[in-house]
Structure 1
Amino acid sequence: MIQSIKNISCGAIAAALILLSAAASAQAPFPNRNITLVVPFAAGSGTDTTTRIIARELGTALGVGTVIENKAGASGSLAASFVARSAPDGYTLMVSTNTPHSANPYLLKVMSYDPIKDFTPIARTGDLPFMLVINPEVPAKSVAELIALAKKDPGKYSYASGSSAAIVSGATFARLAGIDLLHVPYKSSPPALTDLMAGRTTMMFIDVLTGLPHVKAGALKALAVTTKQKSALLPELPTMDETVKGFDITSWQGYFGPANMPKDVVTRLNAEIRKIVERPEIKAQLAERGMEAFSGTPEQFDAFLKDQLKVWEKLIADAGIEKQ
């Protein structure tokens, strides 16, 4: 009986210590423990690579560790759902793009999260330009020549896709150029690139980070960037809009937390992220990995997000892409 009382006392003391520790942690200034950054794509992707650069600097600035957690799958929905249901304390953040937060609502029949209501916008960190690449055996040196080939042989040429941006870009290109292209979808970009380089498909819209090494190696030929303005990363490439009027598709990146985050935590995170991406050496590192880095306030990011939903809704509707 005495032993049982001792055991109960020890257990009560241990429980009390845990509660006291948790209370102390909750009352301590933010941040006081590691921050997890959830990435909706696989390790090695453009988003993952650029996140690791910013995460390293963010951890140093805040004096805590940063943990990258890759939750790839369902076009970013797995990661988005996970973060949306996390505690809104600033310790679980999502590094998202146009795929989960702009395109998915119009591409997926079933959505497990709301891109606006379930998240707190923290900071936009920049754009990840896409470019049109073709197999080197295709006898075209420009977008105009590629269109001419496709018009000469309707249905002969195909475009591979490994992301929402690639799907929408390919369908938009076909519509605006008035050409008949076969869509060959893949679960991710690597296998799509493999088939493109092997000549099993004709063309693909791919992010600069993933596609540029193959262009430099001569395994692919780059024809244009998808943004309406020329890319500072690839000033030698024309824009799609120069040949296909109205073509303007931007892949963006930004940091989110769950809905209802404390304003002071959002302000602190935004301030540190903005300082990081505005540093010349960080801009240079991100540029080497295909990202044009810049930032702004949470309010500016929120307005941008709402506008992008309209942009992608129209892009997807105009391209005639049905929800899957």
Structure 2
Amino acid sequence: MPQPSFTRRTVLGTLGAAALTASTAVRAQGKWPDKPIKLVVPFAAGVSPDVVSRILAEPLGRALGQPLIIDNRAGAAGIIGAEVAARSPGDGYTLFMTVNSIMGINPAVYTKLPYDVQKDFAPVTLVARVPYVLITGMNQPDTTLKALLARAKAKPDSVEYGSLGVGSGPHVVMEMMNNMAGIKMVHVAYKGSPVQDVIAGQVPLAFDPATTAIPLVKGGKARALAITSPKRSPALPDVPTVAELLPGYDGDGWQGFYMPAGTPKEIVARMNTEIVKVLRQPDVQNKLIDLGLQPVGNSIDDFSRISRDEYDKWARIAKANNIRVE
């Protein structure tokens, strides 16, 4: 078979073309961003991740020199929005605000997802920790977590709790607490929030995100028995952590930013730098703290590790409690 003939001209031409391509890519990346960036939020307007996105979008847009356009894609426990983000081009013009239930819990409880959280997303930074507060109605008998756990242990299956649904954050964090306490409570799965029924006394208790639980507790509509964070919340300093009774317990949720897989590392790094700077601004921190959140802003490597750990953690809880959604 005749061998291809490489002349000095063709070799130089090939090298020149490669250099031109690389140079063009560098120049194109150097212009980033030169148009608005889409910020996909997998929830409806007005819920906590959307509110946080809007708090961050304006200062982040100023830092990047381009506006961030929020694209709310609610539904199916965040799966719709996550798929939109996963299928978006990795060109640096899609940012994804998501939460631990989508990235850590859904893969553990759903039989099939239209994306792979480990392969289709590039972690950017953890934005904030989102504590859950264990709330009960003001007319309920238990005024402390210790009393609740003792009653549930004495009479298995005698205590009910509500959640946002099978496989939701409030469901799995409650089951983790039950496992560590050696108790069994009855899960009542709602299609929405059970909070109003907790207040009315129709279901005794539920874990609720701090963003909505704190106003209820401070307004005297619900009693807080415990909080999922390793440390007490400044917003509820008198409310103990679950870990004070069950050492090692950490059921906090979180909110964080990802970009589609394939986004150039330099762009992901720049996005990380600018978001962390925004999260360090006192006015931004105060707004997040007022919502009951704990601002973070960490490195890509740290957030990647947290993402992997969360994935493994909730997979264990889901398997131990046979939590599956077909």
TM-score range, shorter chain: 0.7 to 0.9
For 1:151 and 1:27, the matched residues in 2 are separated by: 60
Q: Is the 1:130–1:208 contact (alpha carbons within 8 Å) kept by the matching residues of 2?
A: yes
For 2:63 and 2:69, the matched residues in 1 are separated by: 15
Provide TM-score, normalisation by structure 1.
Answer: 0.86
Amino acid at match of 1:72: A
Residue of structure 2 in register with 1:142 after alignment: 144
Does the residue aligned with 2:157 lie in a helix, a strand or coil? coil
For 1:167 and 1:132, the matched residues in 2 are separated by: 12
Give the direction of change, closer, same or farther, for the CA distance of 1:29–1:292 in structure 2 (3 Å limit).
same
2:62 paired with 1:60: yes
Does the residue aligned with 1:257 lie in a helix, a strand or coil? strand
Q: Is the 1:50–1:286 contact (alpha carbons within 8 Å) kept by the matching residues of 2?
A: yes
Does the residue aligned with 2:275 lie in a helix, a strand or coil? helix
2:100 paired with 1:84: no
For 1:170 and 1:60, the matched residues in 2 are separated by: 41
Provide TM-score, normalisation by structure 2.
Answer: 0.86
What is the CA-CA distance between 1:147 and the residue it aligns to? Answer: 1.9
For 1:173 and 1:308, the matched residues in 2 are separated by: 16
Residue of structure 2 in register with 1:173 after alignment: 177
Residue of structure 2 in register with 1:234 after alignment: 236
For 2:246 and 2:324, the matched residues in 1 are separated by: 23
For 2:118 and 2:234, the matched residues in 1 are separated by: 30
Amino acid at match of 1:111: L
Amino acid at match of 2:62: T
For 2:322 and 2:249, the matched residues in 1 are separated by: 15
For 2:93 and 2:192, the matched residues in 1 are separated by: 29
Task: String of CA shifts for 1:8-60, please: whole Å, max 9, x gaps.
Answer: xxxxxxxxxxxxxxxxx967711122212111222222211111111121112
For 1:174 and 1:274, the matched residues in 2 are separated by: 36
Residue of structure 2 in register with 1:5 after alignment: none
Structure 1 residue runs without a partner (length 5+): 1-24
Residue of structure 2 in register with 1:269 after alignment: 271
Comparing 55-64 with 131-140, greater Cα deviation is found at 55-64
What is the CA-CA distance between 1:310 and the residue it aligns to? Answer: 1.3
Q: Is the 1:50–1:291 contact (alpha carbons within 8 Å) kept by the matching residues of 2?
A: no
For 2:294 and 2:196, the matched residues in 1 are separated by: 26
What pairs up with 1:1-324 in 2 under 5 angstroms?
29-162=31-164, 164-189=168-193, 192-324=194-326
Q: Is the 1:94–1:257 contact (alpha carbons within 8 Å) kept by the matching residues of 2?
A: yes
Q: How many residues align?
A: 299
What is the CA-CA distance between 1:132 and the residue it aligns to? Answer: 0.5
Task: String of CA shifts for 1:190-218, please: whole Å, max 9, x gaps.
Answer: xx112211211110111100111111121
Give the direction of change, closer, same or farther, for the CA distance of 1:174–1:304 in structure 2 (3 Å limit).
closer
